[in-house]
């Protein structure tokens, strides 16, 4: 099991916040200051230059960024070595259903866990939201392929196949 963290800047509605649901279930630790994120945590950063891949297995923890993308550089600075972007996946959440790259934090964490070889943990956190199982159904094929990839380069090649179709 991989420890999960979420940096949260409290900009979203706490009643709808997926990481707050995970925190209440004891499945994620929320931090409100970047210095509280473990230095060796893999940061799910949509602006990262490298894609998350099975080559990243063995990470100490995974941290989702539950904040506005406009503040990412201010939040992260150069403090974290391991920053990875998720490959092409489609949202199943009610707000962005069917839209690529518009995942909630729980979807992002679950996708990362799946790619990192922890499908049971991914399914467990998705079970906390009513549409979680739908996320796995919608993305079953790409997640299976991403989980078998060797490295980031192969992830990008696989992703291109989905973006072109």
Tens digits of residue pLDDT in 115-142? 999 999 999 999 999 899 999 999 999 9
Tens digits of residue pLDDT in 97-120? 888 888 989 999 999 999 999 999
Question: Per-residue pLDDT for 78 more than 60?
Answer: no
Quick check: pTM over 0.85? yes
Give Cα separations from 115 to 37, 45, 96, 122, 139 (angstroms). Answer: 21, 15, 22, 9, 12
| Residue 21: φ, ψ to 5° | -65, -45
- The angle formed by the CA atoms of residues 105, 111 and 114, to the nearest 5 degrees, is 140
Question: Per-residue pLDDT for 37 more than 90?
Answer: no
- Output the six-digit token pair for 135: 């996320």
């Amino acid at each position: 099991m991989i420890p999960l963290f979420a940096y949260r800047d409290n900009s979203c509605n706490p009643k709808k916040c997926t990481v707050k649901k995970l925190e209440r279930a004891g499945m994620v630790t929320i931090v409100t200051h970047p210095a509280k994120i473990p230095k060796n945590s893999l940061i799910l950063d949509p602006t990262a230059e490298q894609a998350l891949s099975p080559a990243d297995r063995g990470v100490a923890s995974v941290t989702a960024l539950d904040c506005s993308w406009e503040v990412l550089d201010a939040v992260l600075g150069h403090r974290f070595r391991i920053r990875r972007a998720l490959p092409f996946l489609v949202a199943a959440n009610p707000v962005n259903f069917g839209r690529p790259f518009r995942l909630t934090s729980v979807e992002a964490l679950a996708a990362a866990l799946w790619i990192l070889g922890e499908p049971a943990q991914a399914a467990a956190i998705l079970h906390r939201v009513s549409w979680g199982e739908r996320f796995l159904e919608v993305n079953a094929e790409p997640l299976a392929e991403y989980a078998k990839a060797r490295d980031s380069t192969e992830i990008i090649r696989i992703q291109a196949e989905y973006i072109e179709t």
